Structure 1
């Protein structure tokens, strides 16, 4: 993710041997430290939550269309989480220490998983909508094979949209400090890429998700298919979470295309906060899309209880021996 698209080179000091050393402002910045703590917590929650989803949906449940969606989404989110330590270290040190290849690679992978995760959320929304509107057709035509093909297509599209990070990501070094940033060839290129990401990564997905869940809610209420208010609350939470997690990031990315009109410290703080909200989406997805399902809850509880029983049984066996 673009933690730094532009940089101010300042805050240099000299050590006893008159060597220029850059001193990070982060340790003394309340906002920076707070965001680092939040991202670190999100990293742990996201890794554990998505790891549990992969374990349950990949090894403990029968392979179905739904488990295909959940497994793919969890893989996307856990890979996103796996690369967060690079961003955490970069934010804390306010310099890039991993070289040009990882500068390009980590950014590309993060965008790849950002888009793949978003596209999978859209696919899940459309699938749920079709299942409610055309239940008979859906039952006859929804297959694991077709779902797998759709997942592959989503990843291919995500790869295409993540390529600009590999092309334009670069390193700038000054006085021993290296910064990984977006080295766009022109302001127009910057605006085109930012706008395409906004449209493909937010406007279209948010519109589709909102329309699909609105149709589902309307259909359920018209047919009185459920007496519980839980489905409506969950769907509202899904829409609100997507909006809150993604809109601030895209807003500040678009503002950055005209950064001469805004204070750079405001843009930098906005991008950091926006990226933190994006990161939150990686651990909220398993909660909202997976753990809310009764079948997954039951399988999860039974698997955990089975593991605990086996562990206690082994301990008891060892103790008796």
Structure 2
């Protein structure tokens, strides 16, 4: 998500071919910000800091457990890659938080392009991985025997590489259109869609389709098939899987829909009130960013074997620190035997 533009919304775009483009990240005459706008800006700044802290340390914990504490499986491969994607995004958030606080870009043209690229790389890679997880679960439920024989770590790694490669390709527009300019003594990082008359529309629509519409349809179809399958079989005696699957779909929808709606409205920003678009883009990008710390909760911490490994790792360290080596050894042995039988499926 393009924080450094969305948080500084104004008429950034000049589609004329006259070559007289002037990068403005604010109107020539800027009205004084109202108290409500100040409250919104401060609130979103605080939210961004919270997202950074929860996302950074939450995903770091997921990487530590799934990468070093758990046996390498297809499921841990999905979760590890998803956590790395969200971790990289959260690691870049301090630059944008500083931009929001100072209202000036202080990190140069290269970092302006790179941070935007990293953000969209996270957006596409995480969404593609969520789709992969959904399809994988659907196949495991519909064709359990085939899945048991064909699901290998090597094939999962190949799928992850392909997902990241496609995400890189779709993130390249950030490297092309992101620029740094100066206005009224302030340096800003903005989008300059002057390469072609329809550059802005092409980028926005492609991001909408590849980053929301198509993935959302696939996820909905997969989880609908899973729910129907589980309801017509004896594969589950609990309603928890249905609740978790519903939470996954609803969270994905809520986090990303506002962002894409206001990005589409921004294509014809002349027809809408700038203040409304400004607020919508700010709130939309914050909600989309929140997905980076919700992923560990919804996709990992609800997995039974991850919770077991988390508890056993934390408790064993506490017990070792207090000198209770005997009980720690017995606890680790017991939980290890449970982990070998458990699966990461919700």
TM over 0.5: yes
Once the two structures are superposed, residues 268-308 of structure 1 have per-residue CA deviations (whole angstroms, 9 ceiling, x without a partner) of: 21111011011110111011111111111000000011121
Aligned to 1:258: 268
SS for the counterpart of 1:62 is coil
Name the Cα RMSD after superposition. 1.9
Aligned to 2:252: 242
- Runs of 4+ in structure 1 deviating by more than 3 angstroms, as ranges, are 9-12, 23-28
Task: Give the direction of change, closer, same or farther, for the CA distance of 1:248–1:27 in structure 2 (3 Å limit).
Answer: closer
C-alpha displacement of 1:190: 0.3
Aligned to 1:140: 149
SS for the counterpart of 1:83 is helix
Once the two structures are superposed, residues 45-80 of structure 1 have per-residue CA deviations (whole angstroms, 9 ceiling, x without a partner) of: 111111111011100111000000000000000001
Counterpart CA distance in 1 for 2:106 and 2:223 is 44
C-alpha displacement of 1:207: 0.3
Counterpart CA distance in 2 for 1:236 and 1:124 is 15
Counterpart CA distance in 2 for 1:312 and 1:10 is 64
Specify every segment of 5 or more residues in structure 1 that has no aligned partner in the other structure, as ranges. 13-22, 315-321
SS for the counterpart of 2:310 is helix
C-alpha displacement of 1:9: 4.4
Aligned match for 1:284, one of 277, 286, 294: 294
Task: Give the direction of change, closer, same or farther, for the CA distance of 1:27–1:216 in structure 2 (3 Å limit).
Answer: same
Q: Is the 8 A contact 1:26 1:92 kept in 2?
A: no
Question: What's the TM-score, normalizing by structure 1?
Answer: 0.91
Task: Give the direction of change, closer, same or farther, for the CA distance of 1:96–1:66 in structure 2 (3 Å limit).
Answer: same
Counterpart CA distance in 2 for 1:178 and 1:120 is 36
C-alpha displacement of 1:8: 1.2
Task: Give the direction of change, closer, same or farther, for the CA distance of 1:27–1:303 in structure 2 (3 Å limit).
Answer: farther
Aligned to 2:340: none
Aligned to 2:40: 31
Once the two structures are superposed, residues 235-283 of structure 1 have per-residue CA deviations (whole angstroms, 9 ceiling, x without a partner) of: 0000000000001001111111111001122112111101101111011
Alignment of 1:1-321 (within 5 A): 1-3=1-3, 4=5, 6=12, 7-9=25-27, 29-185=38-194, 186-313=196-323
Task: Give the direction of change, closer, same or farther, for the CA distance of 1:26–1:246 in structure 2 (3 Å limit).
Answer: farther
Q: Is the 8 A contact 1:95 1:179 kept in 2?
A: yes
Relative to structure 2, which stretch is displaced further, 253-262 or 170-179? 170-179
SS for the counterpart of 1:63 is coil
Q: Is the 8 A contact 2:2 2:120 kept in 1?
A: no
C-alpha displacement of 1:312: 2.9
Counterpart CA distance in 2 for 1:212 and 1:299 is 28
Once the two structures are superposed, residues 114-168 of structure 1 have per-residue CA deviations (whole angstroms, 9 ceiling, x without a partner) of: 1000000000000000000000000000000000000000000000000000000
Relative to structure 2, which stretch is displaced further, 262-271 or 275-284? 262-271
Relative to structure 2, which stretch is displaced further, 156-165 or 258-267? 258-267
Q: Is the 8 A contact 1:118 1:201 kept in 2?
A: yes
Q: Is the 8 A contact 1:56 1:299 kept in 2?
A: yes
Relative to structure 2, which stretch is displaced further, 301-310 or 193-202? 301-310
Between the two proteins, the alignment pairs up a number of residues equal to 305
Relative to structure 2, which stretch is displaced further, 27-36 or 63-72? 27-36
Specify every segment of 5 or more residues in structure 2 that has no aligned partner in the other structure, as ranges. 13-24, 325-346
C-alpha displacement of 1:26: 9.4
